[in-house]
Amino acid sequence: MKSLILSIFLFIVGFAQADQLAWITEAQARKAAEFLRTQETLLLFCGCCDNHDAQIIQVVEIGFEATSGGEYFEVFVVGVDPLGNEVRIPLDLAYVYFKKRKKAVNVGKHLGFECDVCTKPKRFLNP
């Protein structure tokens, strides 16, 4: 019985960690969008997710919008992936990085938002 409870707890914690800064307040979304609009390239990387492949996006546009319930907001990027495809991706700021020199800096941490980045990339990958 204890192992079942522990398994359920770990599942819930793991699921909750995957969406730490996906749905945020309007003030956080405005702050994030304003900052992200100054970036040309973003690195999307979640080291603790099932699919933890790094993805580099050339930024075309940054925006934010209310979620379906209207209580929270979501930041998104419209950009170009390494294959030249235009993409629109909702962002979890805990797993979005910008380039500072050759290092990957986490957006959520940089903006002062509480989050756990799990495993961060060692460097910013060149597209």
Could you state, in chain order, the average pLDDT of each consecutive group of 10 residues for the chain (127 residues)? 42 50 97 98 87 88 95 97 96 94 91 86 62
- At residue 113, the pLDDT reads 95
What's CA 120's distance to the chain center, in Å? 12
Q: Is residue 91 in a domain? A: yes
Q: In the chain, how many domains are there?
A: 1
Q: Is residue 127 in a domain? A: no
- At residue 91, the pLDDT reads 97
Q: Is residue 94 in a domain? A: yes
Q: Is residue 43 in a domain? A: yes
Q: Is residue 26 in a domain? A: yes
Q: Which domain holds residue 20?
A: 2-110
Q: Is residue 118 in a domain? A: no
Q: Is residue 30 in a domain? A: yes
Q: Is residue 99 in a domain? A: yes
* pTM of the model as a whole: 0.79
- At residue 101, the pLDDT reads 85
**3-class secondary structure per residue, the chain:** CHHHHHHHHHHHHHHHHHCCCCCECHHHHHHHHHHHCCCCEEEECCCCCCCCCCEEEEEEEEEEEECCCCCCEEEEEEEECCCCCEEEEEECHHHEEEEECCEEEEHHHHCCCCCCCCCCCCCCCCC
